[in-house]
Every structure is written in C-alpha cells, then in structure tokens.
Amino acid sequence: MTSKRRRGNNLPSEIRDRFSCLSDEIIGHILSFLPVKSAVRTSILSKRWQNLWNFITNLEFEENTLIATSSVYDVEHVLSCCTSPHINKFSLTVNCYVHDERLESWINYIIKRNVRELRLEGSVFPQCIFTCKTLTVLELESGVLFDDEDIPTCSDIDSDSDTDSDALFENKDIRIPTSFDLPNLKTFRSCLLYYSCDFMEKLLSSSPLLEDLTIEGTVTSDFIFDLSCPLLKRLKIVLRGRKERKDVQCKIVINAPNLEYLELVDISTVEYDVENLTSIAEVKIDTRWEVFVNRSILWLFREIDTLKSLSLHDIFISVLNSGQRRDLPTFYNMNRLELFGKCYSHQSRIACLLNVCPNLEVLILHKVSVQYYDRELPSLLGDKRTVPECLLSCLEVIELDGFEGNKEDMEMVKYFLANARVLKKLTIKSNLDFSVCKRLLELPMSSLTCKIHLC
C-alpha cells in the first residue's frame, strides 16, 4: 500500500479541498482505476493535480490507436511520463496488422516495468510477450501470430483499411512465436484468427500455473489441442466452424482434475475427449449440432458426482428423451438447471430432467429464437400425476425468460405453481398486458411463501 504523506487539514470542510486528506500516491492510485485519457484529463484540475496522473500503474488505452498515424504520440508520451517502477496493467487496441517496431518497443518497455496484466487487440503480437516472466494475465484478441518475416508491409493494406484480415492472411505463411516462458501466467484469454497446435502446446507447457483459459476462434484446418493442465479451474471454448469446411477434423483433449467450470459455445465439428474432470461443478453448453450432443453427452454424464449447475440447450433434451438414453443417472448435487429453447418445454418434456435432479433449487427457462433447430420434441412422461421430487421438497426459484402468455406458457406456470410446494420466488420476464398479469396472480399456489415477480 502507499506510504503516508498527508497535508494539514485544519480548514473548515466547506472551503477545504476535499482531496487534501489524501496523499499524492493515493490519488495516483485512484487515477489508476481510470482509462488513461480520463486520468490525463485530471491534469488541469489544479497545479497539484498536474502531474498526479504520472503515478498511475494501469495503462488502459480505451480507443483504437492507429500506429500508422501521428496519434502514436499519445502512447509514447504517456509511457515517458509514467514514473511508477511497476506497471500493473497495459491494455491497447491497434487496428493495424503490420509489424511495427514501435509497438514492440512499447511492449519491451512495459515488460521491463514488470507488467502483470497485458491485453492487446488487433495487432501482430510481438514475440517478447511470450517470454514475459511477470505476466499473470494475458489477453490477445483478433490478432495474428507470426514473427518478423513473411508479414505484409504497410503498403499491402494501406490501400483498403477495411480489408478482411481473415482473407488477407489466408495464404500467408504464418509462423508462431519460437520461445515461451510464462511461469506466472494464471489467466490466458485469446480470440485469434488462427490457432496452431504447436502454439497452444508450447504456451500451455510453459505456463504451469494456468487456472483460467479462454479459446475463441474459427476452425480452419485440422487440429488436436491437448488441454491437459493440472491446475486449470475455468475453461471456455468458443470455436466456430466454416460452412465450406465441414470436413475439418478437430479434436480437443481435456484432462483437468481441478476444472470447476466448463463452457462450450457454438461448437463446430470438434470432437472432445474428456477425462478426469473430478472437480467439475458447473457446465454450460450451447450447441446446434446434434452429432456433438450425442458424442458429448456421454462424457458429460460421467461426471455427475460433482456437477452442481448445468446450462443446456433443449436439443439435449430431445437426445435425452430419445432411444437408449432413457436411463439417466441421478444428479444428487445439482442445484441449478438452466435451459434454452425455442419454446418452454412442456412440463412433461423437462420432467425427465427434473426427475433426476432431486435436490434442484433453481430452475431457469429461456425462450430464444432458434432458426436452425425445428424438431418436435417427443413427450416422455405421459403420467402427469408423478410430480418430480425436487418440486415437492427443494425447488425454491423459477425464472421464465421470454414469457408470452400463450396457452402453453400459462399451462406450465399453472403446473409449477400447483406443484412446487416450497417455491419462494417465481420471476417472469416479459411485457405482459394487464389481463394476463391478473390471471397469473390468481393462479392457485401450493407454496405458502411464494412471491411472483413480473419484470
């Protein structure tokens, strides 16, 4: 924490500069929470403030910095003014896919200042990033990985600033950084145009402390990622496939005994080989591919012992309901279930899931517009007299997002209110007219303590 240096404050508070109770260092620390531009603007508050922003340790440049133009001046000017020996965070967006010595010199400069968090967007990423020993957080967005050679020159792209960078690099020989050493890295978030197995493998093996990993991008060629990180706690994978590249073979191996949170979004044709998820508590899967569901559902349900929260698209339910998957295991630890679908599944459809979650406390149903998926869901439980165990004993919160108030919606609310005996809160998110609200509030309730929130 900062050293204590205070000014006298004997003046009555009405006329006293209110910041006089704080030292210069503390004010510098406060300014560190502002984007660079806002911090610099405080220099004209008064003479005392003129150089206080020089103490800032977070350098977040919010707006795009165009390296090729004269606005480059601000980054250099700010770096030369900041006197703190440690830079906590450096964040910069540059929309220029060219190798630039200045960017590299800035990065080298902040690395010498022991930077801990680094976020770069829209640039060529200099090699020196990957050997920065002090880094704990690294975020790379829509950039390109390659070294000094074989990269386009300014003239290649100056002619058209809107060039689709994806297309631009389609045929370039993209090279990846050669050396990696990130002994303190705990968080790596990346949204890249291209991934290479070699890059991922080297990065992961050089960051033994990695706990939080996000991989976002487009699948363009065959790959196998081995994401076996012993300390990994959070993993998010967002991979989009290309329509014309359905034949691409992709495989991701996950072996992470400490993994607690796993999120897979809009998966393409990636195959997952998952094992050893002994700590998994929360899983979110958003996918449109039935083939993926069929493959993934097997491993998902192997990890039932620890799973506490599950978020799924209702395409899963159709698979769960179909054929040989009727015998679902029991999720004893599951207390939160969230489902997305084109309509609220009728209680008989979600009943199969509710039946295997005897300790469920929170149920959230979302209505989302779905174009890609239009298949009638089979009804599994014809017998409505069997009310799932969780409704009778523990389900306390139900949230319905996108409620339309049609007959099916009303039937479902009626069912929940009539059967959820310990329900405390029913939240309905929608723009309903008065008559529907009135009908909702008049429905009979089996719980004595239930409150209905309409918003």
Partner 1 sequence: MSSSTELTEKKVFLLKSLDGVIFEVEESVAVQLEVIRELIEGDCARPFISLYNVTSEILALVIEYCKHHAETCSGGTSATIADEDLKTFDNEFMNVDENILLELCSAADYLDIKSLFELTCRTLASLIKDRTIIEVRKMFNVENDFSVVEEKAVRKEFAWAFK
State the residues that interact with partner 1 by CB under 8 A: 1-2, 4, 6, 13-19, 21-23, 26, 29-38, 40-47, 49-50, 71, 73-74, 77
Nearer to partner 1, 41 or 86 (CB): 41
Q: How far is the CB of 164 from partner 1 (least distance, A)?
A: 29
Nearer to partner 1, 33 or 332 (CB): 33
Is 75:95 a contact under the CB 8 Å cutoff? no
Q: What is the DSSP letter of 42?
A: G
Q: How far is the CB of 278 from partner 1 (least distance, A)?
A: 18
Four-residue CA torsion sign, 44, 47, 51, 57: negative
Give the closest residue to 316 by CA, choosing from 283, 294, 284: 294
CA distances from 358 to 3, 206, 330, 351 (A): 55, 43, 8, 11
Helix (H/G/I), strand (E/B), else coil: 265: strand
Nearer to partner 1, 20 or 249 (CB): 20
Q: How far is the CB of 57 from partner 1 (least distance, A)?
A: 12
Nearer to partner 1, 106 or 180 (CB): 106
Nearer to partner 1, 45 or 441 (CB): 45
Nearer to partner 1, 71 or 393 (CB): 71
Q: From CA 358, how far away is CA 243, in angstroms rounded?
A: 41
Q: From CA 153, how far away is CA 151, in angstroms rounded?
A: 6
Q: What is the CA radius of gyration of the chain?
A: 27
Q: How far is the CB of 126 from partner 1 (least distance, A)?
A: 24
Q: From CA 275, how far away is CA 300, in angstroms rounded?
A: 10
CA distances from 391 to 78, 243, 289, 357, 446 (A): 59, 43, 31, 10, 11
Helix (H/G/I), strand (E/B), else coil: 168: helix
Q: How far is the CB of 439 from partner 1 (least distance, A)?
A: 33
Q: How far is the CB of 48 from partner 1 (least distance, A)?
A: 8
Nearer to partner 1, 156 or 263 (CB): 263
Q: How far is the CB of 415 from partner 1 (least distance, A)?
A: 29
